[in-house]
């Protein structure tokens, strides 16, 4: 093996994703335009996008063998989507191609001043429906898969895939970005959940993020961990405990998060992670859950290096998919995922800066 090759994973590196793929039309501007303004771009790019497409591209570059279930049209944009996926090592043979119609696309405006992006999405037509995926195709897509990942889109088809995966005992990871039709059914089958910042409280009605994570573990008994990503503020993870100690004293989950924050060091720009031991966590008015709370930081990217946060959450998920296949402990997984996401934020677009497993910034994680 060459010295720059990533270390071998377990034999089974196949994962299956089901969700959205698009073409992204990216335009970077000095500042977001006011109504009626006419401005010029500072840079522009056209490339594949979509949550599932981005996350699986990230996983492929890191060393996994992803397959994708989705749908595009037989137009030039659909052809571009498929070609980009295949070039990055994502198996697109399970992507349905409609005769006629329109492939999905997104206009992305990147504000160089505020370092934010605005997305305007146009859905594809005709939409994917369960009958697009034959039973034989479904079984072939799941064959040998170690994990199945859903981004919450294509909910009717996704539920068919998820139920079959659950019957086969294949772990399921859900991207819970926001409340969507059919998402609750997917969550009920999930093994792992990664949430956008506002989702846990919106879904549970809990008064704080930590208490919302407790509520999610109580509502979703099959879930092993739930992570909420917080952008530049890092992430919080609640991992279900293995062996509950009934004699353990209860610890208020909000107080525990405060304690973890006080343990954080501000001396490093690299991602770090602190965790509690397994304890009986109490969320007032919600209940108790046996588990471990973890707090991870994001990399402190110098303003001069931060280009575009488009797809940062997708790359975080792609890295978690890899970490699960590599059996990384959660403390290492959170730092690894944050590092991968930060690397991607240094280039325009969701995929341009995604690292490969040979990237020297990842060498300490992949040894």
> What per-residue confidence (pLDDT) applies to 181?
93
For residues 305-322, average pLDDT = 96
> What per-residue confidence (pLDDT) applies to 266?
76
Distance between start and end Cα atoms, the chain = 13
Residue-wise burial string across 14-28, b where 16 or more C-beta atoms lie within 10 A, e elsewhere: bbbbbbbbbbbbbbb
Mean pLDDT across the chain, nearest whole number? 93
For residues 34-39, average pLDDT = 94
**pLDDT tens by residue, 61-117:** 999 999 999 999 999 999 999 999 999 999 999 999 999 999 999 999 999 999 899
> What per-residue confidence (pLDDT) applies to 268?
81
Residue 7 has pLDDT above 50, yes or no: no
3-state secondary structure 161-205: HHHHHHHCCCCEEEEECCCCCCHHHHHCCCCEEEECCCHHHHHHC
Which residue, among 198, 254, 200, has the nearest Cα to 225 in the 3D structure? 200
Residue 267 has pLDDT above 80, yes or no: no
Residue 275 has pLDDT above 70, yes or no: yes
**pLDDT tens by residue, 317-351:** 999 999 999 999 999 999 999 999 999 999 999 99
> What per-residue confidence (pLDDT) applies to 4?
39
Residue 10 has pLDDT above 70, yes or no: no
Name beta bridge partners: 225. 192, 239
| Rounded Cα–Cα distance for residues 187 and 216 (Å) | 10
Domains of the chain: 14-20+51-70+127-362 (3.40.1190.20)
> What per-residue confidence (pLDDT) applies to 331?
96
> What per-residue confidence (pLDDT) applies to 100?
92
Banded model confidence at residue 184, pLDDT cuts 50, 70, 90: very high
Residue 5 has pLDDT above 90, yes or no: no
Residue 3 has pLDDT above 60, yes or no: no
The answer to whether 118 and 297 are in contact (CB under 8 A) is no
Banded model confidence at residue 264, pLDDT cuts 50, 70, 90: confident
Residue 242 has pLDDT above 80, yes or no: yes
């Amino acid at each position: 093996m060459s010295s720059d090759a990533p270390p071998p994973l377990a034999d089974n590196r196949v994962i299956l994703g089901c969700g959205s793929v698009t073409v992204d039309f990216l335009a970077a501007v000095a500042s977001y335009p006011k109504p009626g303004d006419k401005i010029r771009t500072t840079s522009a790019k056209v490339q594949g996008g979509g949550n599932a497409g981005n996350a699986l591209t990230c996983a492929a570059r890191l060393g996994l063998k992803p397959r994708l279930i989705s749908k595009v049209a037989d137009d030039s944009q659909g052809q571009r989507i498929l070609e980009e996926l295949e070039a990055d090592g994502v198996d697109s043979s399970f992507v349905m191609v409609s005769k006629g119609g329109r492939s999905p696309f997104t206009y992305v405006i990147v504000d160089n001043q505020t370092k934010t992006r605005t997305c305007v999405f146009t859905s594809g037509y005709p939409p994917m429906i369960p009958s697009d995926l034959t039973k034989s195709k479904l079984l072939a897509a799941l064959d040998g898969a170690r994990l199945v990942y859903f981004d919450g889109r294509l909910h009717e088809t996704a539920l068919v895939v998820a139920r079959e995966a659950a019957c086969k005992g294949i772990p399921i990871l859900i991207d819970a970005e926001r409340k969507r039709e059919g998402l609750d059914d997917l969550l009920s089958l999930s093994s792992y959940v990664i949430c956008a910042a506002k989702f846990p409280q919106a879904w549970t009605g809990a008064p704080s993020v930590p208490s919302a994570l407790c509520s999610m573990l109580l509502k979703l008994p099959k879930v092993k961990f739930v992570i909420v990503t917080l952008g530049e503020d890092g992430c919080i993870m609640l991992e279900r405990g293995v062996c509950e100690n009934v004699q353990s004293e209860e610890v208020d989950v909000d107080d525990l998060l405060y304690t973890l924050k006080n343990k954080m060091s501000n001396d490093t720009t690299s991602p770090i992670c602190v965790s509690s031991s397994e304890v009986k966590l109490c969320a007032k008015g919600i209940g108790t859950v046996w588990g471990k709370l973890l707090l991870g930081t994001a990399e402190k990217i110098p303003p001069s290096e931060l280009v575009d946060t488009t797809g940062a959450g997708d790359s975080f998920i792609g890295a978690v998919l890899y970490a699960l296949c590599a059996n990384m402990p959660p403390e290492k997984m959170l730092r690894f995922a944050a590092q991968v996401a930060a690397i991607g934020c240094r280039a325009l677009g969701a995929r341009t800066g995604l690292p490969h497993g040979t990237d020297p910034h990842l060498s300490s994680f992949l040894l």
